[in-house]
């Protein structure tokens, strides 16, 4: 999978900013700087796909589809986000 499209990356910025706005959390990173962070994180995810796949032990590595691996990654990151103080 390639990096996300610009509209997809913008939608992440928008979703993040909407949640901050809803909570009225003080946040002063500018739009260009926030977008650069989103883009860099997406690029990092893209360039580390092979390492991510290699980290999954066999037989799961071959049994799981790419979508299923991403689903597990999503759940792991979501839980890590929830338990992060």
Contact residues for other proteins, defined by CB under 8 A: 10, 13-14, 16-18, 20-22, 24-32, 34
SS3 28: coil
Residue with tokens 């500018």: 30
Report, in Å, the least distance between residue 42 CB and other proteins.
Answer: 16
Q: How far apart are the first and last CA of the chain?
A: 32
* Residue 4 · residue 42 · CB < 8 Å: yes
When the beta carbons of 36 and 60 are compared against other proteins, the nearer one is 36
Q: At closest approach, how far in Å is the CB of 7 from other proteins? A: 11
Q: Which is nearer to other proteins, 35 or 64 (CB)?
A: 35
CA 46 to each of CA 26, 39, 82: distance values in angstroms, whole numbers, following the listed order: 30, 10, 24
Closer CB to other proteins, residue 9 or residue 69? 9
Question: In the complex, what is the shortest distance from the CB of residue 66 to other proteins, in angstroms, rounded to a whole number?
Answer: 29
């Amino acid at each position: 999978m390639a990096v996300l499209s610009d509209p997809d990356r913008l939608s992440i910025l928008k979703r993040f900013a909407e949640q901050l706005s809803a909570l009225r959390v003080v946040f002063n990173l500018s739009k260009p700087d926030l977008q650069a962070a989103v883009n860099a994180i997406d690029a990092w995810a893209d360039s580390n796909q092979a390492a991510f796949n290699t980290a999954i032990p066999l037989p799961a590595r071959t049994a799981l589809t790419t979508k299923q691996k991403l689903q597990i990654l999503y759940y792991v990151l979501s839980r890590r986000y929830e338990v992060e103080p």
